[in-house]
Structure 1
Amino acid sequence: MLDDDIVNVKNYGAVGDGIHDDTAAVKSAMAAVLASPTNTITTNRVLTKSLYFPPGTYVLTEPDALLGTPALAAGAQWGSNLVHGLEIFGAGERSSLIVFSSDATASTDPRANNLITAANRLRSAKIHDLGFHSTNPNQSLAYLWCSAANDGTYPAYGSGAQNRIEWRNLRITGNWLRGWGFDGDTNANLNSEQLFDWVYVEGVNWGDAGVRSGFAPYPAQQAQFLNYAFRDCEFEWNSGTMLDFAMGGSINIHGGSWILCDTTQTTTSTMIKLGKNNIADGSWRFLAQGVRFEVRSQHHRVIDCGWVTGNVTFESCSDTALAYQVVSNKNTANSFPAFGNASPRTHSYDWTTWGTGPIVRYLDCQLMGYHQVTTNAAMGPVGKIIYDGCSLATEPQATFLRSTQATAPSLFQNNGLVAAT
């Protein structure tokens, strides 16, 4: 990248010493980036400059300080706000730190208190090599809204779509309401193709969720928020839900470590929450491959799934990181000193809402604690849990899968119990 292609925030007055308020300087620098489109490739706006944060600590004190969405004139459409190719980057996730430090109070409006608010405007964007720290638990990192034909929910945003956004090599610290929120109305379409690559979450308490896809009143079109990829991420957070997908979605997790760290919790924190809303087929697919999950409390869950149909697959994953402590100290079938002398319920499936559930597969996984299936008497033909080639670290098969029915809809094959010592 040539120097002429870069807008350096320090050239617009940012100090980056962690003391001065750099909000005005950063907003001016971003305005220069957004004023640099060329229309030689397409009729839409294609940016020719990128926003750069050199090493330093930049304090931003206003919502939308990094990026906002201006209100459109009456009758205007998304093209006047849309930008292709926005890039915001730093010198590294520990070298260039953005501190979000507003005086925001709690709000039920998801558009409020975000560092980035993007409505119907971002395509092929990249945000990378930066650290983000929040000093206020009412703040969120990013909120993305879309509507292909605005139904009047947020008419000032017009209509459009946004997709193909990379969040890469980021470090997230502090206390946040949420990290990323994906929302839309009854005409929502393309809040899709989101890549989280080498994202490090360290010691965060999520008030809502790390990533939330789908907001009330949950219009069916939010099920079109598809293709979310998490690649080699290191999520080590204290409390709250990491992923909350209320409306289905095509979700892929490849590699990395997911660790819930707070051992003193008295309420449940869940790594992956898949909601119970009844939506169209084709939007229900979850895949985790080669992921290391670690729960450290009786109140921690790897997954809480209420999906009606579709597929949930864990392949070559492990949630037994603390099993060496549990197994070596285990005296009876359900004695777990590291978890309050009770076997932890690590995976939950609730199929009572619609009487059906997805096909769930565990292939070549190492699993500890027990799994719970909640069904009802009207259980339909869809829904089964299959364990193939798995190691059950702490529970024999007879007590590993527990169901509200006498016999859970399941299949065990080629599995083994790692004996206690």
Structure 2
Amino acid sequence: MTTPALSFLRPDDFRSPTDRDDTNAFRGLFAEVDRRLRRDEGGGVPVATVSVLLTRSYTVSGTILQPAPGRAQGLTVRGLGKRASEIVMTGAEPLLVNNDRWMGVRFRDCSFRSTNSQASYLRSLSTGGAQDWGWDNVEWRGSWAYGVGLDGPETSNCNSEMWWNNCHINGSYGTAFLDIGQTPATKSQDQFLNYSFRDCKVEYDHGDFVRAQRGGFITVDGGSAIIKGQKPDGTTSRFFHMPTAGHADAVQHLNVRGTRFELRHPTSQVIKSAWNGGHIVFDGVSDTANGFKAFSTLLVAHEYTNPGGVSYRSCDLVGRHAYRQTAPTPRQRVVYDGCTRENNRTRERFLVVDGANALGAPPIVHVNDGDGIK
């Protein structure tokens, strides 16, 4: 039995000589992808029969993947390599809009760049259809309002199972690169979960790397993470920002393993979290690269309000850690196991514990501490 050759579509196949940019070419291409969908014999969602091949740099001014009725799965977009294949967004719209339609989408070996700070890369809205997107060897550059924004109506769920492998998150972000639960009053958005970053180079100018207003269960494995600049308004940029309390414990999980963090400015933080349940774990990480700078001694690099379970294992830590205890937190546990500090090597200098319930908070435990803190 002969296996048919993989079929590719290229944007240039749909470009009119009169077009000033490639927006219409991409819209025509994705319309053709829709036209060629076939039935999935093992299920009810149609599957793509072609892949998209990016062979050069393209300039677009509007949304290229537009909303369409129904659901579909199995789309792959691939290039020749980062920056060899690039889409440049000049308009103020989302580059891609997935309105409860596409599942099982993959992007490989390409770059995306925005020259408009109002643009966003992906706006994904879900009531169950949008899920299972992955990026492999992909890069983002330029100025964005946000990168990947996950939202949906009151009955929303999914927008889940997303991963980034060997990617480069560059540029700047008005809110965040990954903005989970953009309508935080919608409690059902706690179903937005399972986001993984593996061996990524996160080196961006300003904004949050991950902002989880709803949902969660985030894993970062390896790689480097640097906030290079400062926001124009002087406010704080953070790698992880969890500003909303009151989630289900099943989504209040952050696991960071073997990652090197670099905070270059006093307005940067590794984490600020209001999660009051679940677990936040840093395992074998270091954020001490700029610990020699004068601002680092007073830098509050990690900040929590009424946390649940917080664990640091074999970590090298910079600055100070703050715990705001404004209310009793059931099942609270904070443990530092085998850690060292670049500065502030006593409990009194390292920890800031305050708030109306500070005296009633459970103790912060130090085990096998490299600086002798007990």
Q: What's the TM-score, normalizing by structure 1? A: 0.82
Displacement of 1:394 after TM fit? 0.9
| 1:299/1:408 CA distance change after superposition, 3 Å | farther
Q: 1:54-65, aligned counterparts within 5 Å?
A: 54=55, 56-62=56-62, 64-65=63-64
| 1:384/1:27 CA distance change after superposition, 3 Å | same
Report Cα offsets for 1:55-104 as digits up to 9, x if no partner. Answer: x2100111x21x1113xxxxxxxxx52111011111111200100011x3
- C-alpha contact 2:179 2:211 (8 A) present in aligned 1: yes
Displacement of 1:365 after TM fit? 0.7
1:395 matched to 2:344? The reply is: yes
- C-alpha contact 1:314 1:365 (8 A) present in aligned 2: yes
| 1:22/1:288 CA distance change after superposition, 3 Å | same
Distance 2:53 2:84 in 1: 12
Aligned match of 2:89: 100
Report Cα offsets for 1:151-175 as digits up to 9, x if no partner. Answer: xxxxxxxxx4221111221111110
Percent of aligned pairs with the same amino acid: 28
Displacement of 1:2 after TM fit? 6.6
**Secondary structure, counterpart of 1:28 in structure 2:** helix
Aligned match of 1:27: 27
Displacement of 1:220 after TM fit? 1.2
Report Cα offsets for 1:381-418 as digits up to 9, x if no partner. Answer: 33232100111121113211110035773100111139
* Structure 2 residues not aligned, in runs of 5+: none
Q: 1:11-410, aligned counterparts within 5 Å?
A: 11-13=13-15, 20-41=20-41, 42-54=43-55, 56-62=56-62, 64-65=63-64, 67-70=65-68, 80-102=69-91, 104=92, 113-147=93-127, 160-202=128-170, 204-262=171-229, 266-323=234-291, 326=292, 336-337=293-294, 339=295, 342-351=297-306, 357-376=307-326, 378-398=327-347, 399-404=349-354, 405=358, 409-410=363-364
Displacement of 1:277 after TM fit? 3.1
Displacement of 1:14 after TM fit? 7.5
Distance 2:270 2:32 in 1: 44
**RMSD value, Cα:** 2.1
Distance 1:263 1:282 in 2: 33
**Secondary structure, counterpart of 1:282 in structure 2:** helix
Number of aligned positions between the proteins: 362
- C-alpha contact 1:14 1:58 (8 A) present in aligned 2: no
| 1:4/1:20 CA distance change after superposition, 3 Å | farther
| 1:136/1:411 CA distance change after superposition, 3 Å | same
Displacement of 1:280 after TM fit? 2.4
- C-alpha contact 2:332 2:362 (8 A) present in aligned 1: no
Runs of 4+ with >3 A deviation: 1-4, 263-266, 406-409
Distance 2:302 2:133 in 1: 30
Distance 1:302 1:14 in 2: 47
- C-alpha contact 1:394 1:417 (8 A) present in aligned 2: no
Q: What's the TM-score, normalizing by structure 2? A: 0.91
Distance 2:231 2:148 in 1: 26
| 1:122/1:385 CA distance change after superposition, 3 Å | same
Distance 2:238 2:206 in 1: 8
